[in-house]
Structure 1
Amino acid sequence: MRFSDPAPEPGAAGAPAENPPGAGSPAEGAGPRHAALGLGVPADAEPWRDPGTYWPSLSAAVAHLDAPVAVLGLDALRFNARDLLRRAGGLPLRVASKSIRVRAVLDALLELPGFSGIFAFTLPEALWLAERCSDVVVGYPSADRNALKRLLADERLASRITLMVDDEAQLDLVDSLVPPGRRPLVRVCLDADASWQAPVLGFIGTRRSPLHAPEQALALARRILARPGFTLVGLMMYEGQIAGVGDAVPGALPANQLMRWIQARSMAELTERRGVIVRGLRQLADLEFVNGGGTGSVEATGRDPSITEITVGSGLFAGHLFDTYRAFSPAPAAAVALDVVRRPKPDTATVLGGGWIASGPPGASRVPQVAWPPGLKLLPREGAGEVQTPLTGSAAADLSVSGRVWLRHAKSGELSERVNEFQVVHDGVVVGVLPTYRGEGKAFL
């Protein structure tokens, strides 16, 4: 597998100065020093197991900073990285950048044995990341003509980036921009549908690729191989109905039992169908990887003998959506502290901001969750707002103006997209500051 380029040693030509991790905004291609994250070492402790100590210690660590204050708990992040490796059982893990959006964290993960390559969400992002990482798969097809032109004009970037395709029209677009004889070879990955076409329940999964049946996937593969200027290097099949849906939602026993039944049968069908596709593709091309899964399906996906790597992302920062799975218990590594700015009623405290909603079906699972103090909840008719979020409950009476409330977001990317930096906290002290994509002046989607 291909890993990111090694960083120069401190003091060498072109190396960054000896600074705390994330001190200042990095120059293009340089990046903050991230070795101090030490994601390969065990967590010193598991302080999140005692919420009554954990959250107040984070409050104390960032009390001098103005809200919103986004925090990464270093021990929690270390725990999640190592736990994902444990769950993968030796299969390489590709990092879904959408759920991180912090280059220093991506860099640190790629230095950790077991993590290999990035799963990007747009081609412009992939072009930026490929300056430092030699293996970037764009997770979704792209029709960004300017970004495609950049890719097709640069031999080095073209060797590092793999485009996602599920339709020959996507190849036609590439050829219309630069014909095969005048561009580098374009690496492509075939995206095949991993949903379950259940006999009674119908479509279960995410609507992505039109290629469901093995013969559909193999037919497009043959057309790719017949066209000059392209090379087929991988297959991706994302089982969102397993990876992205919890099966241990509190207070929902019947729904959990139904979901476990659906996921078991869906995985059995997918394992058989994916195996047929992979065997057929390997007779046609020398595949470098077969990618599947997500944070919520690491164990199930890893048992499929066709899989060579698993994509993970949200399980590293661990939004609250991932508290609802039986198979694992991630640590709450990322959270944001917001200030109370008004008290409309004795039992209501209103914080500034907070309504950063996760993607997916609208509902309670996609809104932020109050992590601390306990005894607060959203107002059902108002919810979480972009500029203000009123909270009610027993704890509201004890909150004064300028008091702090901690929120965890449902996934991870929505938090990184709304703040410029994360404070890295270890043992109750801020030990580094890491810029997000936004903090580096980047907004991709």
Structure 2
Amino acid sequence: MFDVLERATRELEPPFAVVDMAALRHNATTMARRAGGKPIRVASKSVRCRTLIRTALSMPGFQGVLAYTLPEALWLAEEFEEVVVGYPTADAAALRRLAADPALASRVTLMVDSLDHLDLIEAATGRSAHPLRVCLDLDASLRLLGGRLHFGVRRSPLHEPAQALRLAQAVMSRPGLRLVGVMAYEAQIAGVGDNAPGSPVRRTAIRALQQVSRGELRRRRAEVIDAVRSIAPLEFVNGGGTGSLESTAAEDAVTELGAGSGLYGPTLFDTYRGFRPRPAAFFVQSVVRVPRPAMATVLGGGWPASGAAGPDRLPTPVWPAGLRLTRTEGAGEVQTPLTGPGAAGLRVGDRVWFRHTKAGELCERVTTLHLVDDGRIIESVPTYRGEGEVFV
């Protein structure tokens, strides 16, 4: 594979980023199959390239966009018809723009999880001539021992059916808002690998907690949806992520999935037992030093992923084979020394291919993605950054 990609990109000067389109299509097909016939809303945060969002939406099994900020959603909604903002907003200017444009208001759905959000929306927009679409964000984390044990991310304050129902009633009481959906993202399942290297005790604990969490969330999500549907005719119930497509799709209460990272297949998903996407996105750096035999230094490379800081957030050198980061320097802003058996044959001017830990964050580092198919670059397309857009 890398021989083909290397030949296709030999005229490019590093650093640059590449997407293997055959791998991306394979991943999309696999994701759609895992979703069991339920549509997947493309998580734009994990793609950050309008061309590839279009590509995903052209494939069977994908429908709609899950955006990450309201300004991004407004930009995307100029082209795409169904855009849900996956996180609450406090951007008053963007809210006013949404309220002032009937076409955008019909395409964009806001995320809320508290009365504060409802008050903020109304304060920013006044009396909109057309109701704004809103979705409730249900907390999907697992809480045990009276909340003393928390497994999952800390998102929404809505955890119990009664809490969701009260907020749904508050939305329904406001003429300027219309409740159309409920979302719950089970990050502790969708974003935590169950086969990570290291302690077998930790792996066993993760698997046990994920199993308990699946059952608890299935029951609780169904209760929430029953309660909310008793007062509002919901258009959609969104759940899941790349790592939990099968289990979330199996829930009767869920009508659609949200996922995007699996299209690129970053190293985050190398630690799952149930599936393994093909690596599709890479970045390339030049060797600029050989400080000693069996060591080579590339220019740059310090492109870490977000999350709790640690070695698993660092990019991984994957070609030539047999390369690894050093423990003392890791991936540096300007230089990254590499060791291992593969470093012995590297010379100044050679190139090293890396994979990112997460998906869309790679696009914050480059303005262009070079799309390779059938052994050649078929198109070079802009990322969000390449289009001059920065949303977070």
The TM-score bracket by the shorter chain reads over 0.9
The aligned amino acid for 1:170 is H
Q: Is the 8 A contact 1:422 1:434 kept in 2?
A: yes
Deviation at 1:255, TM superposition (A): 2.0
Cα separation, 2, equivalents of 1:78 and 1:252: 34
Which residue pairs with 1:253 in the alignment?
Answer: 200
Deviation at 1:189, TM superposition (A): 0.2
Deviation sequence 1:124-168 (CA, Å, 0-9, x none): 100000000110000100001111111111010011000000011
- Per the alignment, in what secondary structure is the counterpart of residue 354 of structure 2? strand
Which residue pairs with 2:267 in the alignment?
Answer: 320
Which residue pairs with 2:138 in the alignment?
Answer: 192
Please say if 1:229 is aligned against 2:176.
Answer: yes
Please say if 1:380 is aligned against 2:380.
Answer: no
Cα separation, 2, equivalents of 1:179 and 1:74: 46
Q: Is the 8 A contact 1:74 1:426 kept in 2?
A: yes
- 1:421-432 to structure 2, matched below 5 A, reads 421-432=368-379
- Per the alignment, in what secondary structure is the counterpart of residue 290 of structure 2? strand
Cα separation, 2, equivalents of 1:90 and 1:232: 25
Deviation at 1:251, TM superposition (A): 4.4
Cα separation, 1, equivalents of 2:373 and 2:88: 39
Which residue pairs with 2:293 in the alignment?
Answer: 346
The aligned amino acid for 2:242 is T
Which residue pairs with 1:288 in the alignment?
Answer: 235
- TM-score, normalised by the number of residues in structure 1: 0.86
Deviation sequence 1:257-308 (CA, Å, 0-9, x none): 2211110101100100111000011111010000111000001111111100
Please say if 1:336 is aligned against 2:291.
Answer: no
Deviation at 1:337, TM superposition (A): 1.1
Cα separation, 1, equivalents of 2:68 and 2:47: 11
Which residue pairs with 1:35 in the alignment?
Answer: none
Please say if 1:176 is aligned against 2:107.
Answer: no
Moved more, 169-178 or 91-100: 169-178
The aligned amino acid for 2:389 is K
Q: Is the 8 A contact 1:293 1:311 kept in 2?
A: yes
Deviation sequence 1:25-80 (CA, Å, 0-9, x none): xxxxxxxxxxxxxxxxxxxxxxxxxxxxx112211111110001211111101100
Cα separation, 2, equivalents of 1:392 and 1:425: 29
Q: Is the 8 A contact 1:62 1:69 kept in 2?
A: no
- Per the alignment, in what secondary structure is the counterpart of residue 284 of structure 1? coil
Cα separation, 2, equivalents of 1:123 and 1:331: 31
- 1:259-298 to structure 2, matched below 5 A, reads 259-298=206-245
Q: Is the 8 A contact 1:95 1:312 kept in 2?
A: yes
The alignment of Structure 1 onto Structure 2 pairs a total of residues equal to 391
Cα separation, 1, equivalents of 2:310 and 2:230: 45
Moved more, 229-238 or 413-422: 413-422
Q: Is the 8 A contact 1:378 1:391 kept in 2?
A: yes
- 1:73-92 to structure 2, matched below 5 A, reads 73-92=20-39
Please say if 1:116 is aligned against 2:63.
Answer: yes
Deviation at 1:228, TM superposition (A): 1.5
Cα separation, 1, equivalents of 2:151 and 2:215: 14
- 1:53-132 to structure 2, matched below 5 A, reads 54-132=1-79
The aligned amino acid for 2:61 is G
Deviation at 1:178, TM superposition (A): 2.4
- Per the alignment, in what secondary structure is the counterpart of residue 230 of structure 2? helix
Deviation at 1:365, TM superposition (A): 1.6
Q: Is the 8 A contact 1:193 1:238 kept in 2?
A: yes
- Per the alignment, in what secondary structure is the counterpart of residue 227 of structure 2? helix
The aligned amino acid for 1:197 is R
Please say if 1:394 is aligned against 2:341.
Answer: yes
Q: Is the 8 A contact 1:185 1:229 kept in 2?
A: yes
Q: Is the 8 A contact 2:28 2:59 kept in 1?
A: no
Deviation sequence 1:350-372 (CA, Å, 0-9, x none): 11122111121111221101111
Q: Is the 8 A contact 2:32 2:60 kept in 1?
A: no
- Per the alignment, in what secondary structure is the counterpart of residue 238 of structure 2? strand
Which residue pairs with 1:433 in the alignment?
Answer: 380
- Per the alignment, in what secondary structure is the counterpart of residue 260 of structure 1? helix
Q: Is the 8 A contact 2:302 2:333 kept in 1?
A: yes
The one of 354, 358, 363 equivalent to 1:407 is: 354
